[in-house]
Structure 1
């Protein structure tokens, strides 16, 4: 006899329920029992329930006469229907074994441990080092600080250019300009970290070899007044003057002026080449930002800008190309503007504008994280570290007591030097340490190999 033949109630499925079943179900679903457990019908055995409510009850109430055959049949029937159960209604399935979300120290979890989150970087609120910078000119339009690839910092104090070697903290004097030609109005290291350009108040530019402390040549005829901004693009030194002119100078040849850009009506106080060397950004006292294309600079005729950006309402000195997005430029406006703006230099579109509340003097991108550092003038003279692109303030660093006119970044991208009108030079470990030390780039000396023969 199979199990199916032992179940005389299997054919009752699909039949109408008896009055007692209907009464139970009505009581279960009635409003007066909403606060009670609701049975799980999918887990209920209706054959067993029907038997217990009908035949089972009759057996218990009638107490039939003892019969061995009947008892054997009931035992087989009870075994087939698993009648050793005591409950008719099933409320829920057995709950799963709970998982300990926070295991104790003595418990070993079989689940793979979660990857530890990156620890939050500590941003110091005080400078790592402070040096005196007497006679630093308190002039917003000049660029008097630069950090070269050889880890040497150059700063112009009045008529003198000093070099500070970060490897041993030694200081040396490079040159002192006479009063007729000075003061020094800008400094800029060449990509090799050995040669340096010095812009002067008399419109001239001097090229020096820092290793031998020797002047190599003087560039004349570029401008009619002081040279307040400079930027290198390989062997091309681009200079911006108070006359509104921008000039490309090829330092390898005698007739060094190879390209002229005309677009600014007032002093050019900001110049930055993109990392690719294909685009030049310029900012001026006329509140304008221009984007120029290197590929259109093949002749000596004045080059037309590819974008003329007119959204700023004050002088634009602070310019910074994003290191991880080639067509992204950040620009900062002076005291009448106080905003940092972000530009797509392929389209000329302004992507975002943030009101900083104070004069923007300089901008630097973090080379290792999506962060931007700005230095400010009136009224709080602070440094602000921003998270990009949300532009949430990560830190606001005080220390200078006058506007922070200049910033320069160490070759490894971690340390920032700031120079202010309070005549101090401060070093900040604001960008932290890079995750992986990057090897120093190979220096290509060829562009400057002919300087010794040109006077």
Structure 2
């Protein structure tokens, strides 16, 4: 007996029987197969043997079945991929800033609507024209032991307010390089300034906020009392209806433009509140940052006086800037990394961390078109970061913001 032939015959018979069993079908199975082909191939006369499956409904195609199957097989899907914005982690430019005072409670940097950056270095204020690159000295204190403690551009981009250690506020015409007027009222240094049309608010180490009407001979329009220590942060809302003030007493106050009594006293921070920034795309939304013992960024609804979000950044918060192009906020920090952090709002997920400064990053200022942010640090350098490059979609937000700013510029600041 030939065992090899016998084994071969048995195997062949088994394969034939198996294939016969597989080919046996019933009317129910056949109907199910057709329905499956119709739904998954989206074609009632789907041919046998097609193996392309579609698991979501699509619009009825005008293509023939063979053409559509070829399209599904060979079409390029790369255009459907989501594009991601590149955030440069290196500064676009670095400038020296010798004698920049290393004091957390001062405000020594501001960028005008006419694209001129002002920075206070010791006893003097310098202007850097971002378009031409020209640098000029605007002013210098009359006494060598005096120094500049705060600066703030008016919305017209022409006038700039300068607070000094000797308790005085000066207003300068930057286009002419001349002093327009001097205003007194504080009994200690003036560390914070904020404009609201023709009104200039100043915050002092004497814990007071003075609202100056720069058009009037008797310039003191009102005095706001609520803090018990130095007022180190001041910022008017985009609408001009609310003023936010932060102090070394760990308090944040919200003031109404028509009242000398604070609207809300917010005591959630556990350290000095210097960093203040109003949201450009949502009304009554304010971000505040706390000092070394607090380290938190808090987001507030100033209409209700409620905290919407709180984030522990693990570092002293020195300054905050909202993006005008994206729903993002940039923060600058002190010990231990001396970094800038970019956060997505409202999730407050960290998008990027920008490093390079070797000492705490005390100040931030945003360019008028909103694409570049400059940081000033105690390492005596200015670094320019192109973090908010606008996309086509975000340009609509910028145009709306520019339109609002333009309406504010129509209110010319007439200084007596």
State the TM-score, normalized to the length of structure 1.
0.75
Equivalence for 1:191: 155
Query: Which segments of 5 or more consecutive residues in structure 1 lack a partner in the other structure?
Result: 1-35, 45-88, 297-302
- Where 1:92 maps in the other structure, the secondary structure is helix
- With over 3 angstroms needed to count, the CA separation of the structure-2 counterparts of 1:38 and 1:160, relative to structure 1, is farther
Aligned mates of 1:38, 1:218 — CA distance in 2: 102
Contact 1:39–1:91 under 8 Å retained in 2: no
Aligned mates of 2:145, 2:240 — CA distance in 1: 31
Equivalence for 2:251: 288
Matches within 5 A, 1:117-156: 118-156=82-120
1:349 aligns with 2:278: no
Equivalence for 1:232: 195
Equivalence for 1:166: 130
Equivalence for 1:272: 235
1:370 pairs with one of 317, 320, 327: 327
Contact 1:414–1:434 under 8 Å retained in 2: no
- With over 3 angstroms needed to count, the CA separation of the structure-2 counterparts of 1:244 and 1:342, relative to structure 1, is same
Matches within 5 A, 1:411-426: 411-426=368-383
Equivalence for 1:304: 261
1:337 aligns with 2:256: no
- With over 3 angstroms needed to count, the CA separation of the structure-2 counterparts of 1:117 and 1:186, relative to structure 1, is farther
1:448 aligns with 2:405: no
Equivalence for 1:84: none
- With over 3 angstroms needed to count, the CA separation of the structure-2 counterparts of 1:39 and 1:357, relative to structure 1, is farther
State the TM-score, normalized to the length of structure 2.
0.81
- With over 3 angstroms needed to count, the CA separation of the structure-2 counterparts of 1:253 and 1:115, relative to structure 1, is farther
Deviations 1:299-348 (A, max 9, x none): xxxx2111000010100000011111111111000001000011111111
Aligned mates of 1:240, 1:407 — CA distance in 2: 19
Q: How far did 1:92 drift?
A: 2.0
Q: How far did 1:109 drift?
A: 5.8
Equivalence for 2:214: 251
Contact 2:280–2:324 under 8 Å retained in 1: yes
Aligned mates of 2:24, 2:134 — CA distance in 1: 83
1:392 pairs with one of 341, 349, 352: 349
Q: How far did 1:447 drift?
A: 4.0
Contact 1:204–1:218 under 8 Å retained in 2: yes
- With over 3 angstroms needed to count, the CA separation of the structure-2 counterparts of 1:114 and 1:132, relative to structure 1, is closer
2:285 pairs with one of 328, 336, 340: 328
Equivalence for 1:93: 33
Q: How far did 1:352 drift?
A: 1.2
Contact 1:39–1:92 under 8 Å retained in 2: no
- Where 1:295 maps in the other structure, the secondary structure is coil
Aligned mates of 1:99, 1:400 — CA distance in 2: 56
Coordinate RMSD, CA, aligned: 2.7
Equivalence for 1:4: none
2:361 pairs with one of 404, 413, 435: 404
- Where 1:93 maps in the other structure, the secondary structure is helix
Aligned mates of 1:294, 1:38 — CA distance in 2: 87
Q: Which one has the largest radius of gyration?
A: 1
Deviations 1:86-106 (A, max 9, x none): xxx6462322336577x99x9
Contact 2:107–2:150 under 8 Å retained in 1: yes
Q: How far did 1:448 drift?
A: 2.8
Q: How far did 1:179 drift?
A: 2.2
> Which stretches of structure 1, 4 residues or longer, exceed 6 Å deviation after superposition?
36-40, 110-115
Aligned mates of 1:394, 1:427 — CA distance in 2: 18
- Where 1:448 maps in the other structure, the secondary structure is coil
Q: How far did 1:444 drift?
A: 3.8
- With over 3 angstroms needed to count, the CA separation of the structure-2 counterparts of 1:241 and 1:92, relative to structure 1, is same
